[in-house]
Structure 1
Amino acid sequence: MQAARKLAPTQKPETPKFSLRTPYMKQGRITQLVAETDKMWIHTKINYEGGENEIHCHLDEDHSFIVLEGQMSVFDENGNEIKVEKHQGVMIPKGAYYRYLNTGSENLVVIRVGAGIKGKAQGGTEMRVRPDGKPLIASSEENKTVPPIEDTRYFADSAG
């Protein structure tokens, strides 16, 4: 996958092909960037059974999760639940608090599409924040991160 780059005024953008091939997990979760431009980015995310994260919002992007395998529940800051099954998705606007949980008995495989102004600071504020306004680091224990252990199998293995 090639990252987007600034184009000279006379250059035309390229249309790259990308693959969703991502390792299944035996423990933890993986987030893998598969394509991006300066205003949009696509990740595959795989969570092992029971995988989850902590309540937070993003101040710099709208994003969505689309379930390819498994099922998930998405909760708002009041505990309201949205159940998302295979081939369904959920849209999370900038500033909306949420957390998610893999509620299936296997790996949860989702596509995460984000859109906004990548890397543009919002008044110097951390982009992922908890309800108390403090930053939440994606790979922290506080965000329920456990050491990832990859399986030998891959989602979309034939995609190369």
Structure 2
Amino acid sequence: MADVEYAVSTEDLRQRLETLAETEGPTFFRLRATLPEQGRTEIPMAAGKTMSVILKTYAGLGENELHRHPNEEHVFVILQGKATFYGPDGETKTVGPNEGVFLPGTAFYRFQADASGPLVMLRVGASVTSTEDVLLRLDPEGNDVDGYSDANKQVDVILSEDKVFG
């Protein structure tokens, strides 16, 4: 498979989304990614001034930390694998292919990919304000947590040599 470039930092993701948002017409894309053996990837597929589409992949047991996005509402649609979503009060819900979850900016959540992995999700986000950072992520104490940091359980990505989605 030809390499599909995934974002490697929050600033890289921001730049890729801003570049995609400059497109003055339809953006066509194919949901295709090399699957990770370890870690997670984010591949920006399309973006506008108020909306983005990102293909996300997680290795088995890949996860993130409890957070919310106060300036964005978003949806995850599971395309492959399963993920268990956790709320701040011990709530849990496992979702699989062709299922999803809508998360308003007020919702704290975290999730973990099923051990059988990998997990592939389509993430569609829409800004709730035109002036605030949609990539802002807050922990329950109100601290800014970079999505590509150790605090968000980021680990080095190791891509599969032969497993692809799409």
TM-score of the superposed pair, with normalisation by structure 1: 0.85
Match of 1:4 among 9, 15, 21: 21
Q: Pick one of 146, 149, 153 that aligns with 2:158.
A: 149
Choose which of 90, 115, 131 in structure 2 pairs with 1:79.
90
Residue 79 of structure 1, CA deviation: 1.6
Alpha-carbon distance in structure 2 between the residues aligned to 1:74 and 1:31? 18
The reply on whether 1:88 has 2:120 as its aligned counterpart is no
Q: Give aligned-pair identity as a percent.
A: 31
Provide the C-alpha distance between the structure 2 equivalents of 1:106 and 1:129, rounded to a whole number of angstroms.
27
Residues 19 and 96 from structure 1, CA distance in 2 versus in 1: closer, same or farther, beyond 3 angstroms?
A: same
The Cα shift of 1:120 comes to 2.5
Which structure has more helix as a fraction of its residues?
2
Question: Which residue of 42, 57, 60 corresponds with 1:46?
Answer: 57
Contact map agreement 1:75 1:100 (CA 8 A) in 2:
yes
Other structure's SS at 2:151 match: helix
Gaps of 5+ in 2: 1-15
Distance 1:39 1:107, change over 3 A: same
Gaps of 5+ in 1: 7-12
Cα contact 1:30–1:47 (8 A) shared by 2: yes
Residue in structure 2 matched with residue 9 of structure 1 by the alignment: none
Structure 1 runs, 4 residues or longer, greater than 3 Å off: none
- Say if 1:60 and 1:120, in contact at 8 Å, map to a contact too: no
Counterparts in 2 of 1:1-160, with a 5 A limit?
3-5=20-22, 13-116=24-127, 120-121=131-132, 127-152=136-161, 153-156=163-166
Residue 151 of structure 1 aligns to a residue in which SS?
strand
TM superposition score normalised by structure 2: 0.82
> How far apart in 1 are the matches of 2:95 and 2:46?
24
Change (3 A) 1:150 1:119: farther
Deviation of 1:104 (Å) = 4.3
Following the alignment from structure 1 to structure 2, what is the Cα–Cα distance between the partners of residues 118 and 3? 19
What secondary structure does 1:30 align onto?
A: strand
The total of aligned residue pairs comes to 147
